[in-house]
Each structure stands twice: as C-alpha cells, then as structure tokens.
Amino acid sequence: MMPFWIALQFLTVFPIQLKTIPSAQQNGRSLLFYPVIGLLIGLILLAVAVLLQPVPLILQASLILVIWIWLTGGLHLDGLADTADAWVGGFGDAERTLKIMKDPACGPIGVLSLIIICLLKWSALYLLLEQQLYGALLLFPVFGRLTALFLFLTAPYVRAKGLGSAMADHLPRTAAWLLIALSVIASLYFSWLGLIASVSTFICWIYLRRKFIQRIGGMTGDTIGAGIEITECISLLAFVVSSFYLAA
C-alpha cells in the first residue's frame, strides 16, 4: 500500500506520514494511484454538493471550488502559474523557460492564468450544479490526474536528476494504459456527455504534449501540474457546454 500513501501524501493536504523513505520503484508505482486519488477528491466534492443542495447556487459553486483547491493545497495551480510565466517570459528558448520555472515568484501572466482557470471552473461548476449533474464531479479530478500518467507514458522528463525521472523509469506502463482505458470506459456511464468529455480530454493531452515537447523537449513537474489543471477545466467545460447542445 506504500504507493497509495505516497500518492495521497503528494497530491492532497491529508496529513500522511510515511514511516520509511520510498524507493524509486514505489515512487514510480505511486503514479498508478493518481486517478484513485482523483476519484477520492471527486467523491468528496460530490458529498459536499449533495450536502449543500439547499444553499444558493452561487455559494455552492464557490464553496466547492474552494474545497477543490484546498484538497490539493494549490499544488497544480502553482505549476500552472510557473508554466504560464515561463512560457511567456522564456521567449521560445528552452533553457530560459526552464530557468523561469524554477523561480518561486509569480509574475503577472502567472496570476492571470490562475484568475482565468478559476473563473472558468467556477462558471462551469455553477451550470453543472444548476442542472443537478452532481455525479459528474467524479469525472474531472480523475481525468486531471490521468494527465500525469499520459505525459509520463508519452513524453520524456527533462530534468535528468529530478524525482520525476526516476518515477518515469519505474512506471508500470501496461497497467497505466489499462487505467486510462478503464477510466474512459467508466466515463460512458454519462452517455454522450461522458464520451465528449473523454474525447476533449484526449485532444487536450495531445495538444499539451506537443507544446511541451516543442518548447522544452518534454515535461517537468510544473508542466504536469499545469496539465492537470488545464485538463480538469477542459473536461468540465466540454461536459457542461455539450449538455446544453444535447438537451436542445
């Protein structure tokens, strides 16, 4: 169970204390539990949404978004801000882009990226709750964390001495692809809406992978965090927007 506890400690604010230092193999296997942690986050969001049913929608959406961010400690939002700053400030140069990513300061583009992603998520959450599609809250955190699996499976980790490089070397690839496939199949529970969200997620993954490789030759921890946030947002938007077209 060590890989599960590693994933839970890294991806959430839950106070998990590991009794031993994880091995490289255990860190690699922990990636398989990323979608499980996503499902756990989704279950918590679903429970909160059900409990808050009597509350006005505007407050429901705000509280759910805040809890969503709090559960992850803002980890992926930090990666998004660093990546956005680096992408603009790097002027197309890989070394400069990677150097800016290491800077803990958040520039104006990073702040703007956080405002945009939170605004889009909040708006989509409001509409999702308005239609009482509470069960869909299970999907988006899972799709987001599958992003890490997809990127580790298909793109090189550019920091050779980083933890991510060792994780990539010890990721069980067959099991990872199987998890992605099973998650897509499970999304079909929501019929066409689930399929559209899955397809949108896959397109988002392909686009992000292409951009990451073009700019820096692969991925870093920050770009993975950015990918998780962007994928969550895109899958949520695709689900909500398509619900209006299919209901017409």
Say what the pLDDT of residue 166 is: 78
Neighbours of 247 (CB within 10 A): 8
Residue type, 90: G
> Has residue 199 been placed in a domain?
yes
pLDDT exceeds 80 at position 163: no
Report the share of the chain in percent with pLDDT over 70: 99
| Residue 168 to residue 208: CA distance in whole angstroms | 18
pLDDT exceeds 90 at position 247: no
In this structure, are residues 73 and 12 in contact, taking their beta carbons and an 8 Å threshold? yes
pTM assigned to the model = 0.96
Say what the pLDDT of residue 22 is: 85
Neighbours of 248 (CB within 10 A): 5
Query: Residue 172: which region, alpha, beta or left (left: phi > 0; alpha: psi -120 to 50)?
Result: beta
| Residue 196 to residue 122: CA distance in whole angstroms | 20
> pLDDT band at 90, cuts 50/70/90?
confident
pLDDT in tens, 225-235: 999 999 999 99
pLDDT exceeds 90 at position 51: yes
Bigger pLDDT: 72 vs 247: 72
| Residue 233 to residue 80: CA distance in whole angstroms | 12
> Has residue 28 been placed in a domain?
no
> Has residue 46 been placed in a domain?
yes
> Has residue 198 been placed in a domain?
yes
Bigger pLDDT: 196 vs 166: 196
Say what the pLDDT of residue 248 is: 60
- The mean-pLDDT minimum among 15-19, 53-57, 212-216 falls in 15-19
> pLDDT band at 159, cuts 50/70/90?
confident
Which residues neighbour 211 within 8 Å (Cβ) at sequence distance 6 or greater?
none
- Average pLDDT on 15-20 reads 88
Element (H, E) at 17: none
State both tokens at 60.
Answer: 């429901």
> Has residue 192 been placed in a domain?
yes
Say what the pLDDT of residue 132 is: 95
Say what the pLDDT of residue 189 is: 95
> pLDDT band at 169, cuts 50/70/90?
confident
Closest CA to 205 of 155, 138, 240, 168: 155
> Has residue 156 been placed in a domain?
yes
Say what the pLDDT of residue 7 is: 94
> What is the residue-wise DSSP string for 193-246?
HHHHHHHHHHHHHHHHHHHHHHHHSSB-HHHHHHHHHHHHHHHHHHHHHHHHHH
> Has residue 78 been placed in a domain?
yes
Mean pLDDT, rounded, of the chain: 94
Overall size of the chain counted in residues: 248
- The mean-pLDDT minimum among 42-51, 167-176, 183-192, 236-245 falls in 167-176
Neighbours of 62 (CB within 10 A): 15
> Has residue 212 been placed in a domain?
yes
- Average pLDDT on 42-63 reads 97
Domain coverage including residue 125? 37-247
Query: Per the structure, how many domains does the chain have?
Result: 1
Which residues neighbour 8 within 8 Å (Cβ) at sequence distance 6 or greater?
14, 16, 33, 37, 40
Say what the pLDDT of residue 23 is: 87
pLDDT exceeds 80 at position 75: yes
Q: Which residues pair with 157 in a beta bridge?
A: 219
